[in-house]
Chain A
Amino acid sequence: MHIPDGYLSPETCGVMGAAMVPVWTTAGRRVRSRLGSQLVPHLALGAAFSFLVMMFNIPIPDGTTAHGVAATLVAVLLGPWAAVVSVSTALVIQAVFFGDGGVLALGANCWNMAFVGPFVGYGVYRLVAGRQALDAPRRALAAGVGGYVGLNVAALFAAVEFGLQPTLFTAKDGTPLYAPFHLSQTVPAMALAHLTVAGLVEFVLTFGVVRYLQRANPALLRVNPVNDPGAGPAAPDRPGWRTPALVLLGLAALTPLGLLAPGGAFGEDSPNDLDLRHYGLRSVPVGLNRWSGFWSHAVLNGYGFHNGDHPVVAYLLSAFIGLLAIAALVAAVRFLVAGRSRKAEPAVR
């Protein structure tokens, strides 16, 4: 999954690197507050561990061996933010010192393997493990499932990054300038490899290590206090809401920029705008014709007012209404989940 230099455009690498800057900054702040003066040695040794675990050969059913990424494993053992720093450090050393993965593509590789992988894997782990005891087999299974899902989602991101290249970066004669395969090819190819082999390797590695530590040295699992629900309530490790809220509001304020873009969005043409010859069609398909007009009661149809006046105001209004709707939905889900958790907890006498 290590993307070498040359597969992604410099623009993609720049965007992915820029996307990683706030992740690294937040990770640095969070681990500093948790580890204090132990910060550097623990993260450095975490990175060294992460680097070496990636070198382990794991037997797979066809009689050969494969390597794991171990991002979820590091997240389970050290916490997700420490995993961001440790896995990123391991990836930098691999890229610069051993040429495994690109230097320019470091942002993309870190996004996939040091951010998406550990966070998704850790989320699945927490969800499946619930409040099981430290030595419960379900906790080890949860770690394995987290590793499997985390790696597959990271692979999906890599596939999307590859698959966007021929759509966005081609020469005038249509020659793809970077990775040549489209999304319809990269996503199934990566999914096949990771759902069958690489994901299972990650499952085996993550499950095996957590199960071993449960039996041989459970104290090591307590390095991440969240793993031990019996040790009392762990300090909440929730991100603050102010910065994301400000970023979202800033993005909403920038939405009218979409009006400057020429042409329409990919795959969003109305039936009348379709280039039928391009798709080898003689007429608009019956189903498309019927269902494209199925819902015509939108409040701000096409992100604009019905009479088409004040497009910038309509765009801004659409963005803020959309944000409010999503916030209301998230609040409702949170309220429901919190209600379930309260019922599940035994009453304190």
Chain B
Amino acid sequence: MSTTKSTPSWLLDTQIGLCPCGCIGTRKKVNLIDQTIEGVSGFVRRALGTDELANSDGVLQRLDPRTKVVVTMVGLVVVALLRHVPLLIVVAVTGALLAAATRLPVGRFVRRAWFVTPLFAAMVSVPAVFNVVTHGHVVVPLGHPFGHRFGITGQGLRTAALLTTRVAASATVVLLLVQTTSWPRVLAALRSLRVPTLFVQILGMAHRYIFQLVTAVEDMFLARRSRQVNHAIDARSGRMLVGATAGALFGKAQSMADEVTLAMTARGDRGTPRALSSGPLPRRDIAVIIGAIVLMASMLWLDRALGR
């Protein structure tokens, strides 16, 4: 019997049962129940997709997770310290090139890292380009409404560009770690890096049971939809439904916690978490850490040398 490691394509379709090109029509999902079902399905779909990428073969996937966690944290601090837009663009582009080199789907990577959060940052920073918010040299005069000079300042344009590119570069750095390292390996790295074992254990268990509870949420909303004749749901009923579902979810979480406690006790748990110690870092990884730190220190030096 043949087996496959990849997620079936029908599960990745956002509109199940319909042709992706829309030739047989599209289904409009605006209903609260549909929206929540779509949200939780999207969550599972993204998680499955990320897990699949992290377990595939690639240059970054093969690195020790501790190396990736350390380099990511240093990278985030360096991105936060950079003050020149071109250097932030270099970081973001380097991240995209690394994503391509490690066989991640570049289109999806770039869309998620550069267009979701950074687009919001760009929209938020639009008012900051005007001299009423950011004072400075007016480079684009826009008249004198109410007797005051109004226009776009050089400083305003620069701060908007800095914010947007910094958000994009930070998202690129984090996404590289997330898409090349599975969650259990991130947790193992955190444990090796002396993050308290108790906290790591809670993180690991919470992540695992999110997937259990998300199924319960989906079931509850699907059950409600299957009993509903009319597609529309009024706001008051919707709010009551959300309250009841969240309340029932809390009940399920509590009973699941009790069962897990009993199971852990039955297996000999005494409330003192223990973890296997990881081996020493391979030489290749040490070289990667040193190389990355030197590269990022050079970028910081260049940033300061450029002045301002």
Q: From B80, B125, B206, give the contact of A10 (CB < 8 A).
A: B80
Q: Mark B215-244, 1 if CB is under 8 A from A, else 0.
A: 001000000000000000001001110111
User: Cβ of B243 and Cβ of A220 under 8 Å apart?
Assistant: no
Of A104, A185, A223, the residue contacting B80 (CB under 8 A) is: A104
The secondary-structure label for the interface of chain B is: helix
Report the minimal beta-carbon distance from A207 to chain B, rounded to whole angstroms: 7
**Is A124 part of the contact surface with B, judged by Cβ < 8 Å?**
no
Q: Are A6 and B166 in contact (CB under 8 A)?
A: yes
Contact B271 A177 (CB under 8 A): no
In the assembled complex, which residues on chain B have CB atoms less than 8 Å from the CB atom of A174? 134-136, 155
Q: A37-B269, A37-B270, A55-B39 are contacts. A5–B206 as well, Cβ < 8 Å?
A: no
Partner of A7, one of B81, B167, B244: B167
The answer to whether A5 touches B198 (Cβ under 8 A) is no
Nearest A-chain residue to B46, judged by Cβ = A98
B97-105, B247-255, B291-299: which one contacts chain A? Answer: B247-255
- Residues of chain B at interface, number, CB under 8 A: 91
Which of A59, A89, A185 contacts B238 (CB under 8 A)?
A: A59
Report A199 CB to chain B, min CB distance, Å.
15
Contacts A55-B43, A97-B183, A208-B239 given; does A45 touch B254 at CB 8 Å: yes
* A171 close to chain B: CB less than 8 A: yes
**B21 part of interface (Cβ distance < 8 Å):** no
Determine the chain A residues whose CB is within 8 A of the CB of B206 once the complex forms.
43-45, 47-48, 51, 89-90, 93
Interface of A is mostly: helix
A336 to B125 Cα, complex, angstroms: 49
* A288 close to B (CB within 8 Å): no
CB distance from A208 to the nearest CB of B (A): 2
The answer to whether B257 touches A42, judged by C-beta atoms less than 8 angstroms apart, is yes
B170 on the A face (CB < 8 A) = yes
Restricting to B141-183, which residues have a CB under 8 Å from any CB of A?
154-156, 158-160, 162-163, 166-167, 169-171, 174-175, 177-178, 183
In A10-52, which residues have CB < 8 Å from any B CB?
10, 13, 24, 28, 36-49, 51-52
Q: Does B106 touch A at the CB level, under 8 Å?
A: no
- Which residue on A lies nearest to B264, using beta carbons? A41
B77: interface (CB < 8 Å): yes
Given the interface pairs A103-B76, A175-B158, the reply to whether A208 lies near B246 with Cβ below 8 Å is yes
Q: Give CA–CA (A37, B266) in the complex, Å.
A: 12
Q: In the complex, A36→B272 CA distance in Å? A: 10
CB of A315 closer than 8 Å to a CB of B = no
Query: Which residue of B134, B249, B254 contacts A176 across the interface (Cβ within 8 Å)?
Result: B134
Chain B residues at the A interface, C-beta cutoff of 8 Å: 32, 35-36, 39-40, 43, 46-47, 50, 72-73, 76-77, 79-81, 83, 112, 116-117, 121, 125, 127-128, 133-136, 154-156, 158-160, 162-163, 166-167, 169-171, 174-175, 177-178, 183, 186, 196, 198-199, 201-207, 209-210, 212-214, 217, 235, 238-240, 242-251, 253-254, 256-258, 260-261, 264-265, 269-271, 273, 308
* Sampled A-B contacts (28; CB under 8 Å): A4-B121, A5-B166, A5-B171, A6-B170, A28-B199, A37-B270, A40-B201, A40-B202, A44-B204, A45-B206, A51-B210, A52-B214, A59-B238, A89-B203, A96-B174, A171-B83, A175-B162, A176-B159, A177-B162, A178-B163, A180-B125, A205-B246, A211-B243, A212-B240, A216-B244, A217-B247, A220-B247, A220-B254
